[in-house]
Amino acid sequence: MSEGGARWRARGFRTQGRPVVTGHVIHLNTTIDASPETIWGVLTDLPHTAEILSSVKSAELITDGEYDVGTTWREERNFFGHHGEEELHVIESEPPSRTLHETRLRHDRIRTAYLIERTADGTASRLLITATMDVSGRTKSELMRWNVLGRHSFESTRRMLIRDLEDIRIEAEKREGRPQEADKGKHRAS
């Protein structure tokens, strides 16, 4: 076996067969002064996504009916270094506590999970987001480029998701009639 093949194997890649290769995993969370039901309402308000999330330029609902597994929409935004339109699908939905979206960008599969929990004291809710990028569909040369350039897309996507959490927090607290001026510009996602 060549030295290059040994390096691929050491990183979890196989030259024959394709295991799942995760390009990035981003975990973020924030505390929101709103009920899980209100936060769920913000997350599932797909017709107004572009008004709620500053990172989304446009959104178009493709399927009819209530938000549930199978709901599909198109949005234009920047995600993991991809600029443009993407089609998202709800693949899990447990109102008002958990949902999972999936999209495909060229060879990659991106999953974004949202988990909503009441805080221990019951006065607020915690919103956790996990974004995972599966790059196992890429060729070896694409994976090598990813190893070199992937950090840039990780950082830009992380910043975008932090902003999304802040936008969701602001909208949920607004829907519950909470004052917004005191928190203006205050970063709370971590």
- In the chain, where are the structural domains located? 21-183
DSSP string of the chain?
Answer: --HHHHHHHHTT--SSS----EEEEEEEEEEESS-HHHHHHHHT-GGGHHHH-TTEEEEEE-S-SSS-TT-EEEEEEEETTEEEEEEEEEEEEETTTEEEEEEEETTEEEEEEEEEEE-TTSSSEEEEEEEEEE-TTS-HHHHHHHHHHHHHHHHHHHHHHHHHHHHHHHHHHHHTT---GGGTT-----
Of 28-42, 100-114, 143-157, 163-177, minimum mean pLDDT range:
143-157
Asked whether residue 146 carries a pLDDT value surpassing 70, the answer given is no
Of 54-58, 80-84, 90-94, 102-106, minimum mean pLDDT range:
80-84
Q: How confident is the model at residue 18 (pLDDT cuts 50, 70, 90)?
A: very low
Per-residue model confidence (pLDDT) at position 140: 73
Is 21-183 in CATH node 3.40.50.20? no
